[in-house]
Amino acid sequence: MLDDRKLAVLRAIVEDYVSTNEPVGSKALADRHALGVSPATVRNDMVSLEEEGYITQPHTSAGRVPTDKGYRLFVDRLSTVKPLSAAERRAIESFLGGAVDLDEIVGRTVRLLAQLTRQVAVVQYPSLTRSSVQHVELVPLGQQRVMMVLITDTGRVEQRVIDNLGAVSEDAVDSLRQMLNRALVGTWLTEVPNAVEDLPSQLPPDERAMAAAVLSVLLESLVERHDEKIVLGGTANLAAMDFSASLREVLEALEENVVLLRLLGEMSDPSMLTVRIGAENSHEGLRSTSIVSAGYGIGDQPLAKIGVVGPTRMDYPGTMGAVRAVARYLGQILAGQ
Task: List residues binding DNA (CB under 7 A).
Answer: 5, 22-28, 36-41, 43-44, 46-47, 50, 57-64
Binding test (CB under 8 A) with its own copies, winner from 40, 47, 141, 335: 141
Phi/psi for 38 (5° steps) reads -85, 165
Minimum CB separation from its own copies for residue 297, in Å? 22
Between residues 31 and 255, which has the closer beta carbon with respect to its own copies? 255
| CB-CB contact of 205 with 92 (8 Å) | no
Min separation Cβ 336 and its own copies, Å = 14
Minimum CB–partner distance for residue 159 and its own copies (Å): 6
Residue 38 interacts with which of its own copies, DNA, none, CB < 5 to 8 Å by class: DNA
Count of chain residues binding its own copies (CB under 8 A): 24
Q: How far is the CB of 112 from DNA (least distance, A)?
A: 36
Number of other CB atoms surrounding residue 115 within 10 Å: 17
Q: Which of 146, 230, 238, 264 contacts its own copies by CB under 8 A? A: 238
Q: Does 310 bind its own copies (CB under 8 A)?
A: no
Q: Should residue 236 be labelled a site residue for its own copies when binding is judged by CB under 8 A?
A: yes
Contact status: 252 vs its own copies (CB under 8 A): yes
The least distance separating its own copies from the CB of residue 112, rounded to whole angstroms, comes to 14
**Cβ pair 215, 148 in contact under 8 A:** no
Q: Which does 43 bind (CB under 5 to 8 A by kind): DNA, its own copies, none?
A: DNA
Instruction: Supply the angle between the helices 257-266 and 247-255 in degrees, to the nearest 10.
Output: 80
- Does residue 149 belong to the site contacting its own copies (CB under 8 A)? yes
Q: What's the min distance (Å) between Cβ of 148 and its own copies?
A: 11
Query: Which is nearer to its own copies, 132 or 235 (by Cβ)?
Result: 235
Q: Which is nearer to DNA, 27 or 33 (CB)?
A: 27
